Structure 1
Amino acid sequence: MPSPQEPSVRSVVVPFEAGEPSAPLRRLGHHEVLERWQAVDRSTHAPHLVGVPGADGEDWTAAALVTARPHTAYLKIVDAVGDVPAAVAAVVAHARARELVQVKWEGWTATPEEAAAAGFASLSPPLARSEDAGGPAAGYFRWLDDSVVTEPPYYGQTTHFTCGAVTALVAQAHAGSLPRNALDRRAELTLWRDATNFPACEPVGLGVAVRRAWPSSPVTVHLDTDRPVMLDHHPESEREWRAHLQHMSREDAGRTGVPIDPRRLSATEIRSAIGRREHVLLLLSLAAMQGFDVPHWVLCHGVVPGAVVIDDPWADAAKGDTWIDAHLLPVADPSLDTMANISPDGFGGAVAIGRPAVDRR
Structure 2
Amino acid sequence: MTPPGHRPPPQKETPVQHFTVVPYEPDTSPGLPAHLKAPERWHTVDRSAHAPHIVAVPGDGARWTAAALVSARPGTAYLKIVDAVGDVPAAVEAVVAHAREQGLAQVKWEGWTVSREEAVAAGFTPLRSPLAPPEDAAGPTTGYVRWLHGGAVPEPPYYGQSTHFTCGAVTALVAQVHAGALPLDALDRRAELTLWRDATNFLACEPVGLGVAVRRAWHSTPVTVHLDVDHPVLLDHLPEADREWRALLQRESRTQAARTGVPVDAHRLSTDDVRAALGRSEHVLLLLSLAAMQGFDVPHWVLCHGVVPGAVVIDDPWAGTEKGDTWVDAHLLPVPDASLDAMASVSAEGFRGAVTIGRAPYE
Scaled by the length of structure 1, what TM-score is found? 0.94
**Aligned-partner SS, 2:303:** strand
Q: Is the 8 A contact 1:9 1:90 kept in 2?
A: no
> What's 1:19 paired with?
27
Distance apart, 1:26 and its partner CA: 3.6
Separation (CA, whole Å) in 2 of partners of 1:89 and 1:290: 28
Q: Return the letter of the residue paired with 1:30.
A: K
Distance apart, 1:20 and its partner CA: 7.0
**Aligned-partner SS, 1:263:** coil
Q: Which residue of 27, 34, 37 corresponds with 1:30? A: 37
Q: Is the 8 A contact 1:9 1:52 kept in 2?
A: no
> What's 1:172 paired with?
176
* Structure-to-structure mapping, 1:197-346, within 5 angstroms: 197-346=201-350
Q: Which residue of 318, 333, 358 corresponds with 1:354? A: 358
Q: Return the letter of the residue paired with 2:44.
A: A
> What's 1:44 paired with?
49
Change (3 A) 1:265 1:131: farther
Distance apart, 1:30 and its partner CA: 3.0
Q: Is the 8 A contact 1:9 1:86 kept in 2?
A: no
Q: Which runs of 5+ in 2 are unaligned?
A: 1-15
Distance apart, 1:28 and its partner CA: 2.8
**Aligned-partner SS, 2:151:** coil
Q: Which residue of 116, 132, 137 corresponds with 1:133? A: 137
Q: Return the letter of the residue paired with 1:36.
A: R
Q: Which runs of 5+ in 1 are unaligned?
A: 1-7
Distance apart, 1:130 and its partner CA: 4.1
> Are 1:80 and 2:84 counterparts?
yes
Separation (CA, whole Å) in 2 of partners of 1:48 and 1:267: 30
Separation (CA, whole Å) in 2 of partners of 1:131 and 1:254: 40
Separation (CA, whole Å) in 2 of partners of 1:82 and 1:112: 18
Q: Identical aligned pairs, as a percentage?
A: 71
Separation (CA, whole Å) in 2 of partners of 1:308 and 1:20: 36
Q: Is the 8 A contact 1:52 1:62 kept in 2?
A: yes
Q: Return the letter of the residue paired with 1:98.
A: Q
Q: Is the 8 A contact 2:283 2:304 kept in 1?
A: yes
Distance apart, 1:204 and its partner CA: 0.2
Q: Return the letter of the residue paired with 1:13.
A: V
Q: Is the 8 A contact 2:33 2:63 kept in 1?
A: no
Separation (CA, whole Å) in 1 of partners of 2:260 and 2:325: 39
**Aligned-partner SS, 2:305:** strand
Separation (CA, whole Å) in 2 of partners of 1:18 and 1:343: 35
Aligned residues: 348
> What's 1:4 paired with?
none
Scaled by the length of structure 2, what TM-score is found? 0.94
**1:21-59 Cα shifts (integer Å, max 9, x gaps):** 635x1423434x1x2101110001000000001122x11
Q: Which residue of 122, 139, 142 corresponds with 2:146? A: 142
> Are 1:110 and 2:118 counterparts?
no
Q: Is the 8 A contact 1:128 1:157 kept in 2?
A: no
**Aligned-partner SS, 2:44:** coil
Distance apart, 1:234 and its partner CA: 1.1
Q: Is the 8 A contact 1:130 1:313 kept in 2?
A: no
Distance apart, 1:10 and its partner CA: 1.0
Change (3 A) 1:16 1:169: same
Q: Return the letter of the residue paired with 1:192.
A: W
Distance apart, 1:263 and its partner CA: 1.1
Q: Return the letter of the residue paired with 2:71.
A: T
